[in-house]
Amino acid sequence: MRILVTGGAGYIGSHTLLELLGEQHDICVLDNYSNSSPEALSRVRLLTNADFLDVKADIRDDNALMNIFQDFQPEAVIHFAGLKAVGESGKVPLTYYENNIRGSLSLLKAMETVGCRRIVFSSSATVYGEPQYLPYDEAHPCAPTNPYGRTKYFVEEILKDWATSSFKNSAVLLRYFNPAGAHSSGSIGEDPNGIPNNLMPFISQVAVGKRDQLNVFGGDYDTRDGTGLRDYIHVSDLASAHMAAVNYSAAHTGVEAFNIGTGKGATVLEVVKAFEEASALRIPYVISPRRSGDIAASVADPKKAQELLGWKAKLTLNNMCQSAWKWQSQNLEGYGNPPEN
Ligand code: NAD
Ligand code: UDP
């Protein structure tokens, strides 16, 4: 299948490319590299020994999109491109609405011009907001508590309207829980700009000595050990969910949302312990005040994805820590300073 992958040079996109190329799909990556490096694509080529098109462009650039759609004529789009930092979204909400919502609208309009009818969208568990019950199932009310989450929620609503506007359209909304880990080779992984917001990359940078200690945000939550509990999902499992979603969209029209998680939660201190075991290092930490906007616990009910997509997470928290450690220790500067060999 000809698949356009927006944001394909990013963390989740690059891992998904490995799956897509492994299945011999014909790929075009569109990325503006605002939060990634073309080096990730070079490594995907090396790992797969496969080639694909890549175009440096912005999803808000209607002319560039039109050219790509007319030249490549994609049969499906996997739409990763977007800004993703919750904290930043509170400071520059308009930038988030502009990038994530207008970008998605431009993409849908370009799809319409060439009759491309299938899209798999990177949504997020943040669309649910404060849990009314756990685990979250897909019927849980959506009440996102920050601008980033609202961009995901609004794009989901736009995709619902688009999918119901023609009986030929198909939209699959993947609500990721907490992606973590790296490819087992250690040659592609998460490469955040500046100080990492997320737990696993922060711990990885403490492990390699780039940061002194982890601040554990809150030690008095109503969880097993008082620290925040999340459903961490290995990025390679997440990648395979996209294969399942593309296949599903080829066979089904309409719109469907799926939780992409494991159904199991781990606390911050459990992640620290698992990382210490994987790296054979001690991770110094200090219990700090709660981070504003954080919830105590978030866990997916992943049954629907298993039943309808035939997808289930296979990898464990230990696999996530081992691969994150391998990636970080082999690439101290991420993609910024490729190892010589
Ligand atoms: P990422 O930042 O690594 O990847 C996003 C990619 O999109 C980057 O390569 C970036 O350069 C590109 N991009 C951003 N804006 C663009 C634009 N206007 N035009 C073209 N390219 C653009 O992020 P990721 O972790 O791989 O996340 C991928 C998607 O999944 C995002 O939409 C994100 O919101 C969503 N998501 C991520 C997480 C997570 O924790 N990583 C959780 C839930 C949902
Ligand atoms: N966390 C932490 N210290 C950090 C980063 C995160 O204690 O430096 C905690 C955070 O409070 C939450 C969990 O780790 O309980 C996962 O946070 P992350 O930002 O990775 O994902 P979120 O669930 O907030 O999207």
Please indicate whether residue 198, judged by its CB atom, sits closer than 6 Å to ligand 2.
Answer: yes
**Measured distance CA(42)–CA(52) in Å, rounded:** 10
**Measured distance CA(143)–CA(70) in Å, rounded:** 38
**Residue to mutate, 35, 106, 320, ligand 1, most ligand atoms under 8 Å from C-beta:** 35
Quote the pTM value: 0.97
The answer to whether 1 and 25 have CB atoms below 8 angstroms apart is: yes
Per CATH, domain 2-180+232-262 is 3.40.50.720: yes
Nearest C-alpha neighbor of 191 from the set 83, 89, 328, 81: 328
Tell me the CA–centroid distance for residue 199 and ligand 2, in Å: 5
Tokens representing 85? Answer: 């930092």
Q: Is 148 a catalytic residue?
A: yes
Please indicate whether residue 175, judged by its CB atom, sits closer than 6 Å to ligand 1.
Answer: no
Atom of ligand 2 nearest to the CA of 126: 25
**Measured distance CA(142)–CA(140) in Å, rounded:** 6
Distances (CA, A) of 47 to 42, 61, 186, 340: 9, 31, 11, 16
The answer to whether 277 and 325 have CB atoms below 8 angstroms apart is: no
3-state SS, residue 171? strand
Tell me the CA–centroid distance for residue 186 and ligand 1, in Å: 20
3-state SS, residue 26? strand
Structure-derived torsion over alpha carbons of residues 309, 312, 315, 320, reported in degrees to the nearest 10: 60
Atom of ligand 1 nearest to the CA of 13: 26
- The catalytic position among 148, 153, 221, 232 is 148
Please indicate whether residue 108, judged by its CB atom, sits closer than 6 Å to ligand 2.
Answer: no
The answer to whether 182 and 315 have CB atoms below 8 angstroms apart is: no
Q: What pLDDT score does 157 carry?
A: 98
Give nearest CA residue, ligand 2 atom 6: 199
Which residues are CB-contacts of 161 (< 8 A; sequence separation ≥ 6)?
none
Q: What pLDDT score does 103 carry?
A: 98
Q: What pLDDT score does 341 carry?
A: 40
The answer to whether 299 and 267 have CB atoms below 8 angstroms apart is: no
Please indicate whether residue 216, judged by its CB atom, sits closer than 6 Å to ligand 2.
Answer: yes
The answer to whether 121 and 159 have CB atoms below 8 angstroms apart is: yes
Any idea how long the chain is?
Answer: 341
pLDDT tens per residue across all 341 residues of the chain: 999 999 999 999 999 999 999 999 999 999 999 999 999 999 999 999 999 999 999 999 999 999 999 999 999 999 999 999 999 999 999 999 999 999 999 999 999 999 999 999 999 999 999 999 999 999 999 999 999 999 999 999 999 999 999 999 999 999 999 999 999 999 999 999 889 999 999 999 999 999 999 999 999 999 999 999 999 999 999 999 999 999 999 999 999 999 999 999 999 999 999 999 999 999 999 999 999 889 999 999 999 999 999 999 999 999 999 999 999 999 999 998 544 44
- The number of beta carbons lying within 10 Å of the beta carbon of residue 127 is 23
Please indicate whether residue 178, judged by its CB atom, sits closer than 6 Å to ligand 2.
Answer: yes
Tokens representing 70? Answer: 């007319």
Each domain of the chain, given as residue ranges in start order, spans: 2-180+232-262
Tokens representing 291? Answer: 């981070």
